């Protein structure tokens, strides 16, 4: 069967990446960059590791001062990550 309507490749890609599962995986891949944007350069430099499991973000911070500051901003950080990524990626942020 031959198609009569042509579809732009960009439209096909946009439709593919707008699917919820694919959009969440893309946002998860961009999480280190999003983290740096949300918490800033200083805190991102002190971040030893980021791990996302079941919508829980575990962040290991090496500086105790920055760790305590981020601890009080956990909810705001989760909301900002979700806003920037465009997907409900993180429910809870745990700072260790």
Contacts 24+ apart (CB under 8 A), 60-65: 60/96, 61/95, 61/96
pTM summary value: 0.76
pLDDT at 3: 66
How many Cα atoms sit within 13 Å of 2 on the Cβ side? 1
* pLDDT tens-place values along the chain, 96 residues long: 566 777 777 777 777 766 767 777 777 788 888 889 888 888 888 889 888 888 898 999 998 998 999 899 999 999 998 898 888 888 899 898
pLDDT at 79: 92
36 and 44 in contact (C-beta within 8 Å)? yes
pLDDT at 10: 78
């Amino acid at each position: 069967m031959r198609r009569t309507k042509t579809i732009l490749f960009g439209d096909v890609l946009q439709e593919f990446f707008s699917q919820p599962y694919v959009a969440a995986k893309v946002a998860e891949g961009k999480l280190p960059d999003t983290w740096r944007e949300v918490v800033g350069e200083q805190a991102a430099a002190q971040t030893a590791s980021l791990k996302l499991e079941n919508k829980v973000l575990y962040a290991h911070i090496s500086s105790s001062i920055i760790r305590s500051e981020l601890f009080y901003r956990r909810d705001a950080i989760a909301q900002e990550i979700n806003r920037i990524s465009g997907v409900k990626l993180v429910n809870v942020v745990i700072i260790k």
